[in-house]
Amino acid sequence: MNIIFLGPPGVGKGTHAKLLGEELNIPQISTGDMLRAHIKGQTALGMAAKKHIDAGELVPDDVVIGMVKERLAQPDCENGFILDGFPRTIPQAEALKAITTIDAVIDLVAGNEVILGRLSGRRVCKDCGATYHISRLDGKTTCEACGGPLIHRVDDQPDTILNRLKVYEEQTAPLIAYYEQEGLLHAVSAEEGIEVDHQLIKEALGLTA
């Protein structure tokens, strides 16, 4: 199954794409994670992307499209994949349509207050990228998976969050109508908590018994 997770910053795309990918045994492809790996590795692409990401702006379409094309050509995508954070603009959606077919688009929906609470409380492992929320950390400051330090992402500071939400409304939200017209869109509430929301996603995809 080829699936897209759509939705504003902090709505839970990464959390749910990872869970579902593990259950279906297909890769979760996060363009945000790929770009952060480039920044960590100090590649030319990473250096060019950093200023956009830190400011809460989108990285130029040609850069991201090239990166995704290359990733989808890998053999582990043959049985399906979950795109998390791509496409984010109409030109990205058109480029994707030219290279592969999509079976379903999950549009995760939550109010701005929920999103602000999630992003301001999010902590990520500096070493492996695992994501946590302070409400579930019980004061811990290191990663359960690898022991690395937990940090607050540069783009999770209040002013940058507001800019990311604005950019989402202007450039990414039009994809909702785009995929509705394609007959692929499933809107799913993402406000109930991780376990409940995960079930709602599976129901929308027809994956429950």
List residues with catalytic annotation.
13, 88, 122, 153, 164
- Closer Cβ to ligand AP5, 2 or 30, answer by number: 30
- Closer Cβ to ligand AP5, 104 or 123, answer by number: 123
Q: Which of 2, 3, 6, 9 binds ligand AP5 (CB under 6 A)?
A: 9
Separation in Å, CA 18 to CA 28, 72, 179: 6, 17, 22
**Tokens 């945000």 -> residue:** 32
- Closer Cβ to ligand AP5, 162 or 194, answer by number: 194
Q: Which of 32, 106, 186, 188 binds ligand AP5 (CB under 6 A)?
A: 32
Least Cα distance to 18 among 3, 7, 29 occurs for 29
Q: Which of 194, 199, 203, 208 binds ligand AP5 (CB under 6 A)?
A: 194
Nearest residue to ligand AP5, using CB? 32
Cα-based angle 85, 91, 94 (whole degrees, multiple of 5): 90
Stretch that binds ligand AP5, among 39-47, 48-56, 71-79, 173-181 (CB under 6 A): 48-56
Asked whether the beta carbons of 167 and 146 are under 8 A apart, the reply is no
Q: Which of 3, 31, 143, 178 binds ligand AP5 (CB under 6 A)?
A: 31
Report the relative pairing of strands 122-125 and 150-151 from DSSP bridges.
Answer: antiparallel
- Closer Cβ to ligand AP5, 26 or 168, answer by number: 168
* Dist. CA 50–CA 54, nearest whole Å: 6
Asked whether the beta carbons of 85 and 13 are under 8 A apart, the reply is yes
* Dist. CA 164–CA 55, nearest whole Å: 8
Query: Which residues lie near ligand AP5 (CB under 6 A)?
Result: 7, 9-15, 30-32, 35, 52-53, 56-59, 64, 85-86, 88, 92, 118, 122, 131-133, 155, 164, 190, 193-194, 197
